[in-house]
Chains A and B, each alone.
Chain A
């Protein structure tokens, strides 16, 4: 099946710092989504981004489908950005493959 790899697996940031998370996938995909899981377990959809660039406040994402990767940018990080970021790709009807996640800790 399709492989989804996220890097770095763990990241510690000082509040106010910027960071980039990466998602590589091994095959062509129909779409790609980024999620944030907060410390209480809730998964929030951040971006639905099969290609191109989108921005939402301090977060932005870019997917280059032809090169099989996506990047999530966090600017001016805040403690509320802590949690796990998941990348998921659709590779068949109604099937998403999830990466293992990027664990982010933002310290004040």
Chain B
């Protein structure tokens, strides 16, 4: 079975802090994704990566950056956290770099920014 592991289930940070969310997948998938989920807004794509060191902006990249130094690991970075970034963050991966394919999600990281 595919396993996508997110480093923290729950985080509480202060405004202005730098936040790292880590995601690791164990199935040699090419694609990795970061979404955020908010009540009433559904899931929105922040960034995705189809290969090591490659990244593409999603629908809401402002305030975020990403890093993919190794194939299995995709990190989401909040350079200076703000209260409007309080949300559930979901990492996902899929096999092929040419299309999304079947998507596998991690358990999610619930971030609260005070």
- Which residue numbers of A lie inside 8 Å of B, CB to CB? 30-31, 33, 35, 40-45, 48, 86, 88, 90, 93-96, 98-101
Contact = CB atoms under 8 A, between A and B. Distances in A.
Given A41-B88, A42-B107, A43-B105, A94 B100 contact: yes
A33 B48 contact: no
22 contacts: A30-B100, A33-B103, A41-B110, A42-B107, A43-B90, A43-B92, A43-B105, A43-B108, A45-B102, A45-B105, A48-B102, A86-B42, A88-B103, A90-B99, A94-B50, A94-B97, A94-B100, A95-B45, A95-B58, A98-B42, A99-B42, A101-B42
Contacts of B103: 33, 35, 45, 88, 96
B105 A30 contact: no
A42 B88 CA distance: 11
Contacts of A100: 40, 42
Given A43-B108, A100-B42, 17 more contacts: A30-B99, A33-B103, A35-B105, A41-B88, A41-B108, A42-B105, A42-B108, A43-B92, A43-B105, A45-B102, A48-B102, A86-B42, A88-B43, A90-B99, A94-B50, A94-B100, A99-B42
- Interface hub of B42, B90, B97, B99 (most chain A Cβ within 10 A): B42
A50 to B, nearest CB: 11
B26 interface: no
A41 B43 CA distance: 12
Chain B interface bracket (under 10, 10 to 19, 20 to 34, 35 or more): 20 to 34
A86 B43 contact: yes
Q: Say whether chain A's binding surface is mostly helix, strand, loop, or mixed.
A: strand
B108 A31 contact: no
- Interface hub of B48, B97, B100, B101 (most chain A Cβ within 10 A): B100
B56 A94 contact: yes
Nearest to A101: B42
B104 interface: yes
